[in-house]
């Protein structure tokens, strides 16, 4: 009834006596149906006040807890050509087992005796460095001899200077004696000349005295020449000592220059020896790379390069390997809205793909619908899918995970949060509100961190 008019027909007209009224109001099953509806409504109201555990559902996949245990590919650090395969796909290999053998494709390493020839070059250069040692020792001995000879020559020149100075002194004294003699001879000549004029001496005595005077004059001139010659000898001795100093300075400088040149050549030779040793070490290390070995125990998944004689470049993937010893984990992704609700150490339930959530009695490892896990890491940087990555590890206090789970299989995770009434959860979802925020227990977080450090 729309109740447009104030007149109420149900009060004026009794419809229970009509055929349709009797059909509707006097049938017993409709009364039961109405009671059922009332009961369901009451039950629905009661259910609205029942508790409901808020949760975060997300999907992920099975991985390994340690990065080194995840599936990997083996690359070759050098370019090469496949020569021989030692395994088949699906084979189990131990760490260090040879998977395939490769050969060189670079012409710089074709020589099969490359290492031995490099060793010969090192020996030759080392011998050359030793000869430089002997040459440097000989030059040092030569330098010492030249220095000794220079000192002896200097002493000899100094002695000669002293002799020349003494000779100058002696000639000076002789010159003074010659001057004295010429004065005596002149005095005697003048006296005899006076006596001869007086007739007391003969002309012969006068001539003898004149001859003596002339001899004394000649002796004076000779002595003066001798003195000048002695003085020239002193000058020549001084010049000689300067010449000796300059001569041996030049010889010693040349010898030292040869020593420095030899030392420089020796250092260059030793540098070449070190360079050749580095090359030989590189050649030896490169020869060890001709056999591609397994980095750890595991199964060969797929040969990414097939056949023989196929060439590949540096760093290209050759074969994929799955480690055999690993600890499984689950990586899941949560929305940015739910990230503040995820904390390290919290418990999470996991349902794996292919493992039913219902209970099967007598079926080992299948009698559990979900499996327990704990959050061990929460990534703080958003992934390419617009969500944050969370890493889950098995809960040691819960049932163990099935051993048949394969790496890469899917999983659905459920993180349980606070308990709220059902009406509140319906109201929250209808309005698009996030679950209730809460703070994680610090003690549980610290304990989880300690456990991770121990692992």
Percent of the chain scoring above 90 in pLDDT: 11
Confidence of residue 1 (pLDDT cuts 50, 70, 90): very low
CB-based contacts of 376, cutoff 8 Å, min separation 6 = 65, 329, 344, 391, 392, 393, 448, 452
Do residues 139 and 260 both lie within one domain? yes
Assess if residue 408 is contained within a domain: yes
CB-based contacts of 143, cutoff 8 Å, min separation 6 = 252, 255, 256, 259
Do residues 348 and 230 both lie within one domain? no
pLDDT of residue 38 exceeding 80, the answer is: yes
Assess if residue 6 is contained within a domain: yes
pTM exceeds cut of 0.75 = no
HSE at residue 83, side-chain half, CA atoms within 13 A, is: 11
Assess if residue 313 is contained within a domain: yes
> Which of 288, 313, 346 is the endpoint of a domain?
288
Domain harbouring 307, CATH code: 2.40.50.100
Place of tokens 């991985």: 63
CB-based contacts of 92, cutoff 8 Å, min separation 6 = 297, 298, 299, 300, 324
State the DSSP string of 310-355. Answer: -EE-TT-EEEEEEESS--EEEEEEE-TTTGGG--TT-EEEEEETTS
Phi and psi (nearest 5°) for 293? -115, 165
Do residues 131 and 275 both lie within one domain? yes
pLDDT at 367: 47
Mean pLDDT, rounded, for 300-329: 87
Assess if residue 109 is contained within a domain: no
Do residues 62 and 93 both lie within one domain? no
Q: Could you give the number of structural domains in the chain?
A: 4
Helix axes 28-48, 422-431, angle to 10 degrees: 80
The span from the CA of 223 to the CA of 237, in Å, is: 21
Question: pLDDT digits over 201-245, tens only?
Answer: 677 777 777 777 777 777 778 878 887 887 888 888 888 888 888
Confidence of residue 444 (pLDDT cuts 50, 70, 90): very low
Choice between 81 and 407, residue whose per-residue pLDDT is larger: 81
Q: Is 108 helix (H, G, I), strand (E, B) or coil?
A: helix
Do residues 177 and 307 both lie within one domain? no
State the DSSP string of 254-276. Answer: HHHHHHHHHHHHHHHHHHHHHHH
pLDDT at 390: 92
Place of tokens 């992704």: 333
Do residues 129 and 275 both lie within one domain? yes
Do residues 315 and 397 both lie within one domain? no
Assess if residue 400 is contained within a domain: yes
Do residues 262 and 309 both lie within one domain? no
> Residue 287 corresponds to which tokens in the numbers above?
């020869």
Do residues 233 and 147 both lie within one domain? yes
pLDDT of residue 418 exceeding 80, the answer is: no
Assess if residue 359 is contained within a domain: yes
Mean pLDDT, rounded, for 372-388: 88
pLDDT of residue 271 exceeding 50, the answer is: yes
Do residues 222 and 269 both lie within one domain? yes
CB-based contacts of 23, cutoff 8 Å, min separation 6 = none
Do residues 40 and 56 both lie within one domain? no
Choice between 224 and 84, residue whose per-residue pLDDT is larger: 84
* Distance spanning both ends of the chain, measured CA to CA: 74
Assess if residue 411 is contained within a domain: yes
Domain harbouring 60, CATH code: 2.40.30.170
Do residues 8 and 148 both lie within one domain? no
The span from the CA of 147 to the CA of 11, in Å, is: 149
- Domain of residue 98 covers 72-104+290-321
pLDDT of residue 446 exceeding 50, the answer is: no
Domain harbouring 185, CATH code: 1.10.287.620
pLDDT at 331: 92
Distances in Å between the Cα of 165 and the Cα atoms of 176, 231, 233 are: 17, 7, 8
């Amino acid at each position: 009834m729309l109740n447009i008019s104030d007149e109420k027909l149900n009060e004026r007209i009794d419809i229970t006596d009509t055929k349709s009224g009797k059909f509707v109001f006097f049938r017993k099953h409709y009364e039961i149906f109405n009671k059922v509806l009332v009961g369901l409504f009451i039950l629905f109201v009661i259910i609205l006040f029942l508790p409901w555990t808020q949760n975060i559902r997300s999907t992920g996949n099975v991985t390994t807890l340690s990065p080194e245990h995840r599936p990997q590919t083996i690359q070759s650090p050098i370019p090469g050509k496949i020569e021989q395969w030692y395994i088949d796909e699906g084979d189990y290999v131990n760490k260090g087992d040879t998977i395939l053998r490769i050969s060189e494709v670079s012409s710089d390493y074709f020589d099969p005796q490359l290492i031995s020839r490099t060793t010969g070059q090192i020996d030759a250069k080392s011998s050359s460095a030793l000869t430089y040692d002997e040459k440097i020792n000989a030059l040092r001995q030569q330098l010492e001899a030249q220095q000794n000879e220079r000192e002896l020559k200097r002493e000899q020149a100094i002695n000669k200077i002293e002799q020349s100075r003494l000779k100058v002194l002696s000639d000076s004294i002789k010159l003074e004696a010659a001057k004295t003699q010429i004065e005596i001879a002149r005095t005697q000549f003048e006296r005899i000349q006076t006596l001869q004029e007086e007739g007391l001496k003969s002309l012969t005595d006068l001539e003898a005295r004149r001859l003596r005077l002339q001899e004394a004059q000649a002796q004076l001139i000779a002595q003066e020449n001798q003195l000048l010659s002695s003085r020239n000898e002193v000058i020549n001795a001084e010049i000689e000592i300067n010449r000796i100093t300059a001569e041996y300075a030049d010889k010693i400088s040349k010898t030292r220059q040869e020593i420095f040149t030899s030392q420089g050549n020796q250092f260059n030779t030793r540098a070449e020896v070190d360079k050749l040793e580095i090359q030989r070490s590189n050649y030896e290390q490169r020869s060890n790379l001709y056999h591609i070995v397994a980095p750890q125990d595991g199964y060969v998944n797929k040969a990414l390069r097939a056949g023989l004689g196929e060439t590949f470049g540096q760093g290209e993937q050759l074969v994929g390997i799955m480690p055999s010893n690993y600890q499984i984990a689950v990586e899941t992704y949560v929305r940015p809205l739910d990230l503040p609700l995820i904390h390290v150490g919290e418990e999470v339930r996991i349902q794996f793909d292919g493992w039913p959530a219902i209970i099967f009695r007598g079926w080992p490892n299948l009698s559990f619908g979900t499996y327990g896990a704990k959050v061990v890491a929460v990534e703080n940087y958003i992934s390419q899918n617009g969500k944050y990555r969370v890493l889950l590890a098995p809960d040691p206090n819960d049932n163990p995970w099935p051993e048949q789970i394969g790496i890469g299989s899917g999983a659905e995770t459920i993180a349980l949060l606070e308990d709220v009434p059902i009406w509140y959860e319906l109201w929250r979802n209808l309005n698009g509100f996030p679950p209730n925020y809460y703070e994680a227990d610090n003690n549980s977080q610290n304990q989880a961190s300690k456990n991770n450090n121990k692992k």
